[in-house]
């Protein structure tokens, strides 16, 4: 909900100053704690005093600590409130007022019991003024100015007499950077350092000229790309010559002297300044406008396969119920039901979990691809004949399977000893008995018929066809072909999602696998699911999430930043 908080200040001349602030929250919390929406820095106010809710039956306030509340001069712990009610919050009065359009709750806050004059008098007597020291304002100003000039300008210049030589050297930037490893002395110019440099820059930490190539000029991009030669840009600057991006410096987002770890700007406005109204900036823009994850962000658009045989993928909004054509048949609901999961080897029913097949990679962020041999082979045995119950074929191309069948039966027929009573005598003979030409021909004919029979069985709807799209193909030696299986490895390649950071959330909270009967279902949560925990940059009751939390700025399909043209990479 949107809450308007107006702070009233009564001036000495009788006028009233007003300062309005709008916040987005689920509950309006009040107290001295910094996490409260109404943060009252007054020792007379408890850390957690009260909470104001907007329910179905109106506004409701309750005390969250041990202190009671004053509602219209009556002591209460909790009560319904209406427009015009005044709630006593320690030395403050909180008044419920009529909200304007777009605002759910509007309140005014006024300090009605300021600190007494005795305290102010004590504070005034505790101050040490310049007059008490015996200095005039003019003399003290000159004294401090002289100290600053000597300590922070004269001494650093005298101790680094080669500094200006480096700055005004006619050598190239690459030549200047060679001196970085040789500048390891600290002098009085340490006072010019605005903070500790990041770890990756410490090997030239004392060579200011490596980055600050011109005196009194901010760090230029050329100083960055001198080392970061392969860093890609964000857009094609020829196609989209946006002033906001062509004039943006590397240091706008990446600032040094902020500590040992790399710093990148996370402010939402760095992205929303352009993306808030892209449709007005670029004609025919296919990207949707976005400015805040909590209040103005389009629905997720996963990239799904539309025609695996032609390599066609398409981005489709989850609002449009996308269907992925993966050529795979897999009902999650069936596999999550222990009554349907009977292991053919052990004869026992097995309860599968998500982690039975979906295993995180070494980083924990992404999920490894499912492999038939590792995750499916225990139940889906590729056996084909009762005379060899443990013999299986490869999970491969149809022609490979057909060749393995033919080789197996041919070897069996020529060796003899087949126990199948329906088989001809020539293959049931004593193993190792020599064959004449006609007998070999008869044995191989039996092998071919068994190959065809087992092939029809394996490629039937109950075997390969239970998971794959199997079609007849006269051009294939096996007589069959299997449509290529393509399953999205990363649904949203332009964003980043780390499963490891969400390990405390159950899979079922985001992925409705226990009700899915088709592999064409895109089992991704909509943005509303993420917004239950994540809010925009200004969120106070959710995880503040800015654009950079999920998206990157540099794109690999764009030219490197050192490129003079900025054209897209082909």
Distance CA 196, CA 186 (A): 13
d(CA 443, CA 437): 10
Phi-psi region of 134 (alpha: psi -120 to 50; beta: other; left: phi over 0): left
Dihedral of CA 536/542/544/548: which sign?
Answer: negative
Residue 258: both structure tokens together: 């902020």
Give CA separation, 38 vs 71, 110, 540, in Å. 17, 12, 11
The three-class DSSP label of residue 236 is coil
Its sign, for the CA torsion 352, 355, 358, 359, is negative
Q: Using DSSP bridges, classify how beta strands 38-39 and 28-31 pair: parallel, antiparallel or unpaired.
A: parallel
- SS3 assignment for 224-251: HHCCCCCCECCCCCCCCCCHHHHCCCHH
Mapped onto helix, strand or coil, the DSSP state of residue 378 is: coil
Rg (CA), the chain: 37
Residue 77, phi then psi, degrees to nearest 5: -105, -35
Give CB contacts under 8 A, 24+ apart, made by 186-192: 187/156, 187/159, 187/160, 188/151, 188/155, 188/156, 188/158, 188/159, 188/160, 189/156, 189/159, 189/160, 189/163, 191/151, 191/152, 191/156, 192/152, 192/156
Could you give the count of Cα atoms lying within 13 Å of 400 in the half-sphere of its Cβ?
A: 7
Strand pairing class (303-307; 312-315): antiparallel
Q: Is 307 helix (H, G, I), strand (E, B) or coil?
A: strand
Instruction: Report the phi/psi class of residue 551: left, alpha or beta, with left for phi > 0 and alpha for psi in -120 to 50.
Output: beta
Whole-angstrom Cα distance, residue 403 to residue 156?
A: 82
HSE of 84 in the Cβ direction (CA atoms, 13 Å)?
Answer: 0
Q: Is-contact 81 71, C-beta < 8 A? A: yes
Q: Locate the DSSP E strands across 192-346.
A: 303-307, 312-315
Helix or strand or coil: residue 379?
Answer: coil
Residue 328: closest CA among 487, 203, 122, 525? 487
Number of neighbours of residue 336 by Cβ within 10 angstroms: 19
Full-model pTM: 0.63
For residue 304 the two structure tokens come to 């799904």
Integer CA distances (angstroms), 173 to 160, 386, 557, 560, in order = 20, 77, 28, 19
**Would you write out the chain's pLDDT as a tens digit for each of its 570 residues?**
899 999 999 888 888 899 999 999 999 999 999 999 999 988 889 999 999 998 878 899 999 988 888 999 889 998 999 999 999 988 899 999 999 988 989 999 999 888 766 666 666 666 777 767 777 888 888 989 999 998 888 887 777 665 444 544 444 444 444 454 444 455 677 777 788 899 999 999 888 889 999 988 999 999 999 999 999 988 887 888 777 777 788 988 898 998 888 777 888 988 998 899 988 888 888 889 999 999 999 999 999 999 998 999 999 999 999 999 999 999 999 999 999 999 988 889 999 999 999 999 988 889 999 999 999 999 999 999 988 999 999 999 999 999 999 999 999 999 988 888 889 999 999 998 888 899 999 999 999 999 999 999 999 999 999 999 999 998 988 899 999 999 998 999 989 999 999 999 999 999 999 999 999 999 999 999 999 999 999 999 999 999 999 998 898 888 888 766 544 444
CB count in 10 Å sphere of residue 194: 9
For residues 67 and 90, what is the distance between their CA atoms, to the nearest angstrom? Answer: 9
Report domain extents, the chain.
2-116, 139-217
The class of domain 2-116 in CATH terms is mainly beta
Q: Give the three-class secondary structure for 31.
A: strand
- Do residues 271 and 536 lie in contact, with contact meaning Cβ atoms separated by under 8 Å? no
Q: For the CA atoms of 313, 314, 319, 320, what is the dihedral angle to 10 degrees? A: -90
CA 453 to CA 408: how far, in whole Å?
Answer: 13
How far is the C-alpha of 470 from the C-alpha of 459, rounded, in Å? 7
The pair of structure tokens assigned to 445 is 């004919």
Half-sphere exposure of 168 toward its Cβ, with a 13 Å CA cutoff?
6
């Amino acid at each position: 909900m949107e809450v308007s908080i107006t702070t009233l200040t009564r001036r000495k001349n009788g006028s009233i100053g007003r300062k309005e602030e709008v916040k987005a929250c689920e509950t309006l919390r009040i107290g001295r704690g910094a996490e409260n929406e109404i943060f009252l820095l007054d020792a007379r106010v408890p850390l957690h005093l009260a909470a104001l809710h907007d329910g179905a039956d109106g506004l409701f306030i309750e005390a969250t600590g041990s202190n009671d509340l004053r509602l219209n001069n009556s002591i209460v712990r909790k009560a319904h409130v209406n427009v015009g009610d005044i709630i006593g919050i320690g030395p403050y009065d909180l008044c419920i007022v009529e909200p304007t359009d777009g605002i759910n709750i509007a309140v005014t806050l006024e300090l009605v019991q300021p600190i007494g004059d005795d305290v102010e008098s004590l504070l005034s007597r505790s101050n040490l003024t310049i007059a008490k020291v015996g200095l005039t304002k003019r003399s003290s100003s000159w004294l401090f100015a002289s100290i600053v000039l000597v300590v922070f300008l004269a001494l650093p210049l005298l101790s680094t007499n080669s500094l200006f030589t480096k700055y005004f050297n006619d050598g190239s930037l690459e030549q200047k950077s060679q001196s970085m490893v040789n500048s390891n002395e600290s002098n009085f110019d340490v006072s010019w350092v605005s903070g500790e440099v990041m770890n990756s820059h410490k090997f030239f930490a004392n060579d200011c000229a490596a980055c600050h190539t011109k005196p009194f000029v901010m760090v230029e991009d050329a100083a960055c790309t001198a080392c970061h030669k392969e860093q890609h840009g964000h857009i094609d600057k020829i196609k989209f010559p946006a002033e906001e991006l062509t004039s943006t410096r590397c240091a706008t987002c990446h600032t040094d002297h902020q500590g040992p770890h790399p710093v990148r700007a996370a402010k939402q406005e760095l992205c929303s300044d352009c993306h808030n109204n892209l449709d007005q900036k670029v004609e025919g823009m296919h990207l949707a406008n976005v400015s805040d994850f909590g209040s103005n962000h389009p629905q997720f658009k996963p990239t799904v396969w539309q025609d695996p045989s032609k390599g066609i993928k398409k981005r489709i909004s989850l609002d449009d119920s996308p269907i992925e054509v993966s050529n795979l048949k897999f009902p999650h609901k069936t596999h999550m039901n222990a009554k349907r999961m009977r292991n053919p080897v052990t004869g026992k029913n097995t309860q599968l979990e998500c982690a039975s097949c979906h295993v995180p990679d070494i980083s924990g962020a992404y999920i490894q691809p499912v492999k038939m041999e590792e995750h499916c082979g225990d139940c889906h045995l590729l056996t084909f004949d009762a005379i060899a119950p443990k013999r299986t074929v490869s999970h491969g191309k149809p022609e490979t399977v057909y060749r393995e069948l033919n080789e197996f039966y041919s070897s069996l027929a020529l060796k003899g000893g087949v126990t199948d009573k329906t088989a001809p005598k020539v293959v049931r003979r004593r193993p190792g008995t020599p064959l004449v030409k006609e007998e070999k021909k008869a044995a191989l004919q039996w092998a071919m018929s068994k190959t065809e029979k087992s092939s029809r069985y394996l490629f039937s709807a109950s075997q390969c066809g239970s998971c794959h799209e199997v079609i007849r193909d006269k051009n294939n030696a096996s007589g069959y072909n299997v449509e290529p299986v393509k399953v999205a490895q990363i649904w949203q390649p332009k964003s980043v999602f780390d499963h490891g950071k969400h390990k405390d959330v159950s899979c079922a909270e985001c992925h409705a696998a226990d009700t899915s009967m088709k592999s064409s279902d895109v089992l991704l949560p909509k943005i509303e699911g993420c917004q239950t925990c994540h809010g925009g940059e200004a969120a106070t009751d959710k995880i503040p999430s800015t654009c950079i939390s999920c998206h990157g700025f540099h794109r690999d399909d764009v030219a490197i930043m050192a490129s003079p043209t900025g054209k897209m990479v082909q």
